[in-house]
Structure 1
Amino acid sequence: MTEGDALGIVQQAIWLTIILAGPVIASAMIIGVGVAFFQALTQVQEMTLTFVPKIIAGFLIILMTGSYSGSLLKVFTEQLYIRIATGFR
């Protein structure tokens, strides 16, 4: 295993993490801005109002993208196991 192999695996893992976490983080950001705007308009400063919608939206996004995320993770793992079995050639 050379440095190039290790860097390639790390780069793939980082991109996979970004792809898998991206929808959840994006939805949490959008919900957070919406709740902050609502709180600024109504002057309601309830702390749980910021967390509960983000958690619910994150859970729904995970439910909607779970099969796609699982298949990407499965492909990455299979490719990694194949590289290990062949000795990184």
Structure 2
Amino acid sequence: MLSEGIFYDTLRQGLWVAVTVSIPILTVALVTGLAIGLFQALTSIQEMTLTFVPKLAAIVIVFWLSMGFMTQTLVAFFDGHIIPLIIGNL
């Protein structure tokens, strides 16, 4: 049976891994959105595809570049915390 302390510790670590894995993509989306918004405000161009396409391209590029980091982080979390809980070693 899983104790309450181990459950909450695993939940906390899982949430931290989710935040760590999502930071690169969210940061690029924020910076790209701010840059495009500033460009639109300066030029008075209000085209919807101008905000969507560059942001999507930036997110895909950063996702492709950070896939190794994301995979290593998730595998380390599962190997170190989730799999031992399933097996019963903790």
- TM-score of the superposition, structure 1-length normalised? 0.93
| Residue 32 of structure 2: aligned partner | 31
Q: Which runs of 5+ in 2 are unaligned?
A: none
- Offset, 1:19: 0.7
Q: Quick one: distance in 2 between partners of 1:59 and 1:40? A: 25
- Offset, 1:78: 1.4
| Residue 64 of structure 2: aligned partner | 63
| Residue 3 of structure 2: aligned partner | 2
Aligned structure 1 segments of 4 or more residues deviating by more than 2 angstroms:
none
The one-character-per-residue Cα deviations of 1:35-56 (angstroms, maximum 9, x if unpaired) are 0000001000001111111111
| Residue 51 of structure 2: aligned partner | 50
Q: Quick one: distance in 2 between partners of 1:69 and 1:49? A: 29
Q: Which runs of 5+ in 1 are unaligned?
A: none
The one-character-per-residue Cα deviations of 1:52-78 (angstroms, maximum 9, x if unpaired) are 111111111111110111011111111
Give me the CA root mean square deviation. 1.0
**In the alignment, is residue 85 of structure 1 matched against residue 87 of structure 2?**
yes
- Offset, 1:14: 0.6
**In the TM superposition, what are the counterparts of 1:16-27 in structure 2 within 5 Å?**
16-27=17-28
- TM-score of the superposition, structure 2-length normalised? 0.92
